[in-house]
Structure 1
Amino acid sequence: MGEVFRLATVNDAERLLHITYDAYVTIRELNLHWPAANATLALIQENITTNECYLLEVDGEIKATITLSKSDDIKWVTDLPFVKWFAVDPAFQGKGVGGKLLNWIEETIIRDKLGAPAVTLATAEKHPWLLPMYERRGYERIRAFDKGNGDGTMHLLRKIVNPALFEHYLRQKQEQVISD
């Protein structure tokens, strides 16, 4: 099985739209207000051009996608890299494809390319399996918040990808608090 990890291009937008829409069925059923759940082709194209949208191809076909946010609108929650819009073709869910892409993002992009100590993401408490899935993958809850939009309690999760660098990051944060 040939696997290719790469950045998405706008030429991938139509396929990513189908994968994302099909993968986010539970999000729509729960009436969560996540942009990816009801994304249009234009929104997918915007995501590709304004963020780093990565994908995993298996035997030449896109099977999973995840986005590294480049937006400043997440800075109120975290100063660490933030991933979003994680979707796996439903026919490939439970087969390790999503895990491979997430591992690759955590290690190759977050740790090695960006040199970041950790990665963050957010998910809804009321989703029946996302929170436990991320916790099994080593993510820990670091902040709960409610945006008041009907989604209920959301959890910011963090996974440390470089422990030594994370210790340095924490020391810097503590020094910053002391100097403020």
Structure 2
Amino acid sequence: MHEAYAPIRKLGINFASAYPTVEKVRNNIFQNLCFVYESDQKLISTLSLRMPWSNNPGPYYFPHIWWLATHPDYKGLGIGAKMLQYIETEIVQNDLHSPAVTLGTADNHPWLMKMYERKGYKKFGSQNLGKGHVTQYFIKVLQPYLFKGTAELQQQFTNVTYEEDTQHGI
């Protein structure tokens, strides 16, 4: 975590994951679902899911991605992207049957927001958490026919009406 988040610290962004301590890492492991990608017994990439029912839920009622990091020696190989896609599809969508997943990032990060948008995430809110930046929240609807947000959220994020969704018998 420390090596992967060095560029974040250089930008002056105060993500909790940018300043990992043994206690913070332990808390993350005990409080969240944590996934790792290893090769030759070396930790390459990690991703955590904060669950809506936990002591540290995300901003909406869906699993919330955080502490996504890839070791600098493996940056640019697509490992983090593959891990993110795997967690979205296999864990959040197929295992947890969640219609959506959320994540947050600093609004002043030079490229993360655009990257998440390219991966299908849409902005849905922001909050100043007192960390020196505004956290911009994103949502990705994985299963539109299960998404039960408000009518406004349904229109904004899914562009479907449930009365007309005959593909899934709804």
Residue 10 of structure 2 aligns to which amino acid in structure 1? E
Residue 90 of structure 1 aligns to which amino acid in structure 2? P
Is the Cα–Cα contact under 8 Å of residues 31 and 55 in structure 2 kept in the other structure? no
Distance of 2:41 and 2:151 partners within structure 1: 44
Distance of 1:59 and 1:129 partners within structure 2: 31
Deviation at 1:148, TM superposition (A): 3.1
SS of 2:2's equivalent in the other structure is helix
SS of 1:21's equivalent in the other structure is coil
TM-score (norm 2): 0.81
Identify the structure with bigger relative contact order (alpha carbons < 8 Å, sequence gap 6+). 1
Task: Indicate the residue corresponding to 2:56 in structure 1.
Answer: 73
Gaps of 5+ in 1: 1-19, 175-180
TM-align CA RMSD: 2.0
Deviation at 1:68, TM superposition (A): 0.5
Gaps of 5+ in 2: 154-170
Match 2:83 to one of 82, 85, 101:
101
Residue 74 of structure 1 aligns to which amino acid in structure 2? P
Residue 32 of structure 1 aligns to which amino acid in structure 2? I
Number of aligned residue pairs: give it. 151
TM-score (norm 1): 0.76
SS of 2:149's equivalent in the other structure is helix
Change in Cα spacing, 1:144 to 1:46, as seen in structure 2 (3 Å) is: closer
Match 1:41 to one of 2, 22, 29:
22
